[in-house]
């Protein structure tokens, strides 16, 4: 008896490997996974904001501003976790990959620009297209910058402010107007948009890089593809060939055959899914990935198995497929989120 079941498994596996649908679905899963990998969606739980100081001098304005922002984070005076990073390229890569909400590059000429009062592009703001908290971080950096700049401005204009014969109200109004203008304009915090591929190179085609910050999105894509293919395998239960074979079996044996049919069919798809998870480097250990895939497959398999034994018509079976996928999506959210 067991030998016959093993023969079923081998024959069904060989049959599955010869089916064009398997390879089409595998290719579709690869493309969908690559597409999800290529999106830039900052993790909603992350509040990392990166800073790169081009002119790393102890008493420079940029260095003091960076330290003040980091100190604000340590003292929990800001919702953001400000961190310094060693290079501009690394900052851009971290933002591209969704590891940071956004980043700020303090120009190497920042001190000279402050001395001359010409603040154009003093700080470059770097963000992805999908940032949700970047604007708030921008305001935080802007507020801290102008707080410090106000002190510098007063020192620079001290003599002018208290010069004999100078109209006090005119001077104060002039400084206030300049301050307001800097607050509402993009003169200091300039925003530059670039088309960047996932390797950090400028490109004409806009493909945003992604990586493990997308763990959930990559995993979701693979797992939903697995669930969908289990459903397609279940639909084979309604083919005349399978129906004719099952009719010659006992009730128990027909259930076992259905189980083996779906199990043998999903193995190549599971191997492809595991390869994708390892290749796209979602930070999971291989063993953990295997356990997760098997657990996910088992749950969806049981739903499919019950469905094909309750619904008697293939048209009705396909009609409930969207519901099946919605249930799988909800399960994923509950399980992994």
Mean pLDDT (the chain, rounded): 76
pLDDT in tens, 289-313: 788 888 888 888 888 888 888 888 8
* Residue after which a domain boundary falls, among 156, 191, 226: 191
Q: Are residues 150 and 253 in the same domain?
A: no
Q: How confident is the model at residue 51 (pLDDT cuts 50, 70, 90)?
A: very high
Q: Are residues 31 and 54 in the same domain?
A: no
Q: Is the pLDDT of residue 196 over 50?
A: no
Q: Is the pLDDT of residue 218 over 50?
A: yes
Token pair, residue 10, equals 């081998």
Q: Are residues 74 and 143 in the same domain?
A: yes
User: How far apart are the C-alpha atoms of 84 and 64, rounded to whole Å?
Assistant: 12
- Is 203 within a domain? no
Q: How confident is the model at residue 52 (pLDDT cuts 50, 70, 90)?
A: very high
- HSE (side-chain half, CA atoms, 13 Å) at 139: 6
Sheet holding 48-53, edge to edge: 81-84, 48-53, 102-106, 123-127, 189-191
Listed range (144-148, 226-230, 323-327) with the worst mean pLDDT:
144-148
- pLDDT number for residue 308: 85
Q: Are residues 229 and 154 in the same domain?
A: no
Q: Are residues 102 and 187 in the same domain?
A: yes
- pLDDT number for residue 161: 53
- Is 200 within a domain? no
Listed range (175-179, 205-209, 282-286, 321-325) with the worst mean pLDDT:
205-209
- pLDDT number for residue 174: 67
C-alpha distances in angstroms, 237 versus 8, 16, 322, 335?
15, 14, 18, 29
- Is 121 within a domain? yes
| Cβ–Cβ < 8 Å for 12, 260 | yes
Q: Are residues 157 and 185 in the same domain?
A: yes
Domain hosting 285: range is: 2-38+212-336
Which residues lie closer than 8 Å to 334 by C-beta, 6 or more apart? none
Q: Which residue has the higher pLDDT, 259 or 167?
A: 259
- pLDDT number for residue 172: 62
| Cβ–Cβ < 8 Å for 49, 224 | no
- Assign residue 104 the CATH number of its domain: 3.40.1710
Q: Which residue has the higher pLDDT, 165 or 264?
A: 264
Q: Total domain count for the chain?
A: 2
- Is 204 within a domain? no
- Is 205 within a domain? no
């Amino acid at each position: 008896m067991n030998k016959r079941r093993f023969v079923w498994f081998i024959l069904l596996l060989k049959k599955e490997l010869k089916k064009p649908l398997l390879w089409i679905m595998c290719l579709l899963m690869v493309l969908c996974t690559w597409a999800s990998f290529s999106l830039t969606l900052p993790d909603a739980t992350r509040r990392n904001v990166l800073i790169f100081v081009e002119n790393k001098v102890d008493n420079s304005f940029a260095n003091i501003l960076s330290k003040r922002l980091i100190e604000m984070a340590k003292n929990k005076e800001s919702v953001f976790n400000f961190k310094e990073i060693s290079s501009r390229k690394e900052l851009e890569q971290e933002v591209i990959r969704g590891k940071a909400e956004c980043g700020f590059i303090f120009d190497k000429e920042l001190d000279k620009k402050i001395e001359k009062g010409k603040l154009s592009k003093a700080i470059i703001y770097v963000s992805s297209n999908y940032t949700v908290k970047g604007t708030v971080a921008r305001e935080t950096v802007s507020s801290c910058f102008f707080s410090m700049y106000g002190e510098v401005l007063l020192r620079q204009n001290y003599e002018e402010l208290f010069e004999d014969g100078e109209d006090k109200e005119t001077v104060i109004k002039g400084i206030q107007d300049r301050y307001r203008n800097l607050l509402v304009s993009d003169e200091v915090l300039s925003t530059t948009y670039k088309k960047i591929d996932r390797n950090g190179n400028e490109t004409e085609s806009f493909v945003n890089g992604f990586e493990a910050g997308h763990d959930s999105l990559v995993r979701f894509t693979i797992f939903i593809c697995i669930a969908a293919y289990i459903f397609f395998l279940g639909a084979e239960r309604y083919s005349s060939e399978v129906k004719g074979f099952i009719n010659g079996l006992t009730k128990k044996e027909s259930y076992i055959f259905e189980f083996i049919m779906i199990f043998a069919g999903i193995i190549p798809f599971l191997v492809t899914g595991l390869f994708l998870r390892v290749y796209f480097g979602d930070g999971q250990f291989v063993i953990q990935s295997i356990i997760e895939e098997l657990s996910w497959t088992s749950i969806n398999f049981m739903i499919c198995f019950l469905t094909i034994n309750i619904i008697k018509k293939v048209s009705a079976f396909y009609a409930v497929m969207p519901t099946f996928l919605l249930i799988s999506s909800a399960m994923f959210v509950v399980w992994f989120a």
